[in-house]
Amino acid sequence: MIDINEIGATAFVIASIRALEPEKSPQLFNDPYAQWFSNEQARGAARQLEAAFPPSTTMVRFRTRYFNRFIERGIADGARQVVLLGGGFDMHAHIFANPDAAFFEVDQKAVLEFKRAILAEHGIEQAPSLFGNYLEVDVPDGLAGIGFDLNAPTVMVWEGNTMYLPPESIMPFLNRLAGAMSSFRIAFDYFSVDMQDRDFETEEDRVRLEGVERAMGASFPTGFPDLTIFEQEAPFKVAESGSFAGLAEEFGSGDVVAGYPEDWRETLKLYRFCVLERG
Ligand SMILES: C[S@@+](CC[C@H](N)C(=O)[O-])C[C@H]1O[C@@H](n2cnc3c(N)ncnc32)[C@H](O)[C@@H]1O
């Protein structure tokens, strides 16, 4: 019996949002597989998300476009491996399949077993996968055991994950990766608020982020108000950072974000991306 916990269940919600992309204009990406992982309960959660803070689902679309581009650019710049960390039901390994780059997935056993079964129904093989809680298993060692080269240039996608993790787990985890792998970039999305102390600047920000949290059915204990911790407490350089809403013009959606009320746009500044570089 597959037991997908509340964090694993969030992957269905994200897939349900992606499944609606063909109805959008402009269309920001093409993920024909997302509908396989959508279900009524997750579609309900996606509707609840939009009710809690209407731009939320648009930001998931922006983030998908952003991480897609990160993978494409990473491979074009010489990455020979792509690791989808907490990849859930994203289908990057198939959408960006490339003879020059090997894909690896890491997620909880129940999530990846479910995904593998769905892919098998459609005659598709799952990318080499490491099953387990990545905060507990030795990720570099586990990946090396399924064909990963610890010394080859690598990009890691850590999308829709950091906010769910215990804050004290982040630096030890990143330091374990950095200690074992010589050259990689890791991209993630995050909230630029101290989520542990719920240190929001305005009451609106609190209500909106906590509404998003409730809709996702999982709590957000972690945020990063200051990215210099990754340079001070781990051996990384911050290579890129910004807000997803700030990408609107580039994504041909400038009028959408410009049309939001000013206070929505303020809250959106809290949802950001970051790329860390090692080596
Ligand atoms: C919100 S979903 C995002 C999935 C995917 N990255 C995307 O954006 O579509 C979060 C995923 O991270 C996985 N995850 C979170 N924490 C994890 C951990 N400690 N170990 C393994 N997987 C984890 C969950 O199982 C889930 O599949």
pLDDT in tens, 227-254: 999 999 999 999 999 999 999 999 999 9
The count of domains in the chain is: 1
CA–CA dist 150, 175 (Å, integer): 14
Mutate to test the pocket of ligand 1, among 108, 126, 135, 136 (most ligand atoms within 8 A of CB): 108
Q: Taking the model in full, what pTM does it have?
A: 0.97
How far apart, in whole angstroms, are the C-alpha atoms of residue 88 and residue 252? 27
55 in ligand 1 pocket by Cβ < 6 Å? no
Question: Is 16 contained in some domain?
Answer: yes
What is the position in ligand 1's atom list of the atom closest to the CA of 5?
25
For the segment 74-125, what is each residue's pLDDT rounded down to a tens digit? 999 999 999 999 999 999 999 999 999 999 999 999 999 999 999 999 999 9
89 is a domain residue: yes
Structural domain harbouring 119: 6-278
In a domain, 271, yes or no: yes
55 in a structural domain: yes
Evaluate whether 176 touches 139 at the Cβ level (below 8 Å). Answer: yes
Residue 1 lies in a domain: no
The answer to whether position 193 is within a domain reads yes
Tell me if residue 187 falls in helix, strand or coil: strand
Which residue's CA is the nearest one to ligand 1's atom 18?
Answer: 133
Supply the CATH number for residue 57's domain: 3.40.50.150
Fill in the amino acid letter for 245: A
Question: Which pLDDT band, with edges at 50, 70 and 90, does 2 fall under?
Answer: low
Choose among 225, 240, 234, 87: nearest CA to 174.
234
| Radius of gyration for the alpha carbons in the chain, expressed in angstroms and rounded | 18
25 lies in some domain: yes
Q: Distance between CA 215 and CA 54 in Å, rounded? A: 12
